[in-house]
């Protein structure tokens, strides 16, 4: 016996279908692109075509000088595990630095550049755009590149728009009328969604004038103030900021030091692991989770410059900050100095490699039992944990901590892992 009429069911489910469609559109997932593990910021006044290549060379030089072998690195960072792990980390960091040290770079017209005369900033904007285009032609640009303009507050909005106009129009012309792959424009200190709305309107106009496809210019927004989290009416601004971006938003970056300053936290306590930062980072996770927007934590402000012990102390602080971020599910962060880059990779590789063997066993057992709950050691796994284990391997592969060959220890193929869905893998194996 059943009492639900067919036309009632169809009517209810029609409304649900519309709602589900909107939900999927809002939360499309991570997409196919690999997220870089860091963004390095450099003042626009210093940028030339060979900058990122030179920075990579300096990063490798610093690593060779201050961590000549695995034991030195392990002692400096207090690495867990045994010498085999340390050797793996050291070898893979070296290989990464030799191949591609700088994954993502921002030509910075904000804090790293400062307020200068208009004529000077105009000249710098044009010069750096041409140098970036030259780096692209020479094949020496970082895989991900972009600029950070000044904020859209009342004091700087005109200057910011002018730099945006000069840089982008010059770059497009020098790059044969095309937007470079993985190019992004970062808008700092976003407080209200109307700032993003104005930003997007400018980009719409520029694309039209330059003959570009609509929404081809992607943006990042920076969360750096308490007002970005909560409006005067008690409403979170971040979902409204995301909506105002109209599909252009590739990333949301957290500005540690501006944010803690807006909290009236004194300089001695402005640090990545401050509880106020953890709260903001969790709010960003809640806002942008599932949207495909890449999240990035801020930078460690203590630079590894000086004698061996001074560098190692700065490395240890940076390492601990990065491990903390990784534990919170933030797989990208800022670097400000070439000598910080090796520790970015050392932390990422250690984070994943120290758990690789156990995670491989757990995921293999899970797949073999076709998603039936199983017990490995003292850890009970269910279907949600299965997806968490798959996420572990996706992130480990993405950052270069593990190789495609090491994926095979799980019993999965690389193609299966790249489906990014534990449910799909199990379904395909059980049909």
**Confidence at residue 15, expressed as pLDDT on a 0 to 100 scale:** 83
Highest mean pLDDT among 11-20, 35-44, 264-273: 35-44
**Confidence at residue 374, expressed as pLDDT on a 0 to 100 scale:** 47
Beta strands per DSSP E along 227-367: 249-254, 294-296, 333-335
Q: Exposed, middle or buried: residue 402 (CB in 10 Å: 0-12, 13-18, 19+)?
A: buried
Does domain 38-353 fall under CATH 3.40.50.300? My reply is no
Q: What is the mean pLDDT of residues 379-383?
A: 56
**Confidence at residue 114, expressed as pLDDT on a 0 to 100 scale:** 94
For residues 355 and 245, what is the distance between their CA atoms, to the nearest angstrom?
A: 38
Q: What is the mean pLDDT of residues 92-120?
A: 97
- Residue pLDDT, tens place only, 235-263: 899 999 999 999 999 999 999 999 999 88
**If you write DSSP's letter for every residue of 142-185 in order, what string do you get?**
-SEEEEE----STTTHHHHHHHHHHHHHHHHHHTTT-PPTTEEE
Could you tell me if 270 and 301 are in contact, meaning their C-beta atoms sit under 8 angstroms apart? yes
Over 70: is that where the pLDDT of 380 sits? no
Over 60: is that where the pLDDT of 418 sits? yes
Average pLDDT, the chain: 91
Could you tell me if 352 and 393 are in contact, meaning their C-beta atoms sit under 8 angstroms apart? no
**Confidence at residue 131, expressed as pLDDT on a 0 to 100 scale:** 98
For residues 18 and 260, the model is more confident at: 260
Q: What is the mean pLDDT of residues 400-428?
A: 80
Highest mean pLDDT among 202-211, 234-243, 378-387: 202-211
**Confidence at residue 334, expressed as pLDDT on a 0 to 100 scale:** 96
Over 60: is that where the pLDDT of 70 sits? yes
**Confidence at residue 373, expressed as pLDDT on a 0 to 100 scale:** 47
Phi, psi of 41 (to 5 degrees): -100, 135
Over 50: is that where the pLDDT of 306 sits? yes
For residues 247 and 214, what is the distance between their CA atoms, to the nearest angstrom?
A: 11
Q: What is the mean pLDDT of residues 281-310?
A: 95
**Partner residues linked to 250 by β-bridges:** none
**If you write DSSP's letter for every residue of 340-401 in order, what string do you get?**
GHHHHHHHHHHHHHTTHHHHHHHHHHHHHTTT--EEETTEEE-HHHHHHHHHHHHHHHHHTS
Closest CA to 224 of 170, 268, 166, 263: 263
- Residue pLDDT, tens place only, 215-229: 999 999 999 999 999
Cα angle at 56 between 53 and 57, to 5 degrees? 90
Beta strands per DSSP E along 265-385: 294-296, 333-335, 374-376, 379-381
Cα angle at 181 between 228 and 127, to 5 degrees? 80
SS3 label, residue 187? strand
**Confidence at residue 213, expressed as pLDDT on a 0 to 100 scale:** 96
Closest CA to 342 of 155, 150, 90: 90
Residue extents of the structural domains in the chain: 38-353, 356-430
Phi, psi of 8 (to 5 degrees): -65, -45
């Amino acid at each position: 016996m059943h009492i639900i009429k067919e036309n009632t069911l169809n009517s209810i489910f029609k409304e649900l279908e519309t709602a589900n469609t909107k939900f999927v559109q809002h939360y499309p997932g991570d997409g196919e692109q690999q997220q870089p593990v860091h963004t390095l910021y450099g003042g626009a006044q210093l940028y030339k075509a060979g900058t990122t290549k030179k920075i990579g060379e300096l990063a490798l030089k610093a690593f060779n000088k201050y961590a000549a072998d695995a034991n030195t690195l392990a002692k400096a960072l207090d690495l867990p595990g045994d010498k085999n792990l340390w050797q793996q980390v050291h070898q893979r960091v070296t290989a990464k630095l030799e191949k591609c040290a700088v994954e993502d770079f921002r030509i910075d017209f904000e804090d790293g550049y400062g307020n200068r005369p208009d004529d000077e900033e105009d000249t710098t904007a044009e010069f750096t755009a041409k140098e970036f285009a030259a780096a692209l032609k020479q094949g020496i640009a970082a895989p991900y590149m972009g600029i950070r303009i000044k904020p859209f507050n009342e004091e700087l909005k005109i200057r910011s728009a002018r730099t945006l106009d000069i840089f982008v129009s010059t770059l497009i012309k020098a790059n044969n009328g095309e937007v470079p792959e993985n190019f992004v424009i970062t808008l700092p200190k976003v407080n209200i969604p109307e700032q993003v709305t104005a930003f997007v309107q400018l980009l719409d106009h520029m694309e039209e004038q330059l003959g570009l496809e609509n929404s081809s210019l992607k943006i990042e927004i920076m969360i750096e103030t308490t007002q970005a989290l909560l409006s005067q009416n008690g409403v979170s601004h971040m979902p409204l900021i995301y909506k105002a971006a109209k599909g252009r938003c590739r990333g949301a970056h957290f500005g540690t030091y501006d944010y803690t300053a807006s909290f009236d936290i004194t300089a001695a306590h402005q640090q990545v692991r401050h509880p106020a930062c953890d709260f903001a980072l969790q709010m960003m996770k809640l806002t942008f989770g599932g949207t495909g927007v890449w999240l990035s934590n801020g930078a460690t402000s203590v630079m590894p410059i000086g004698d061996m012990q001074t560098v190692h102390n700065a490395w240890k602080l940076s390492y601990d900050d990065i491990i903390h971020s990784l534990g919170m599910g933030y797989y990208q962060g800022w670097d400000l100095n070439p000598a910080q880059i090796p520790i970015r990779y050392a932390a990422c590789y250690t984070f994943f490699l120290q758990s690789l063997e156990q995670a491989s066993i757990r995921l293999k057992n899970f797949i073999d039992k076709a998603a039936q709950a199983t017990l490995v050691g003292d850890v009970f796994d269910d279907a949600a944990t299965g997806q968490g284990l798959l996420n572990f391997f996706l992130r480990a592969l993405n950052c270069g901590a593990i190789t495609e060959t090491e994926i095979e220890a799980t019993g999965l193929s690389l193609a299966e892992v790249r489906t990014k869905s534990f449910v799909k893998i199990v379904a395909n194996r059980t049909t």
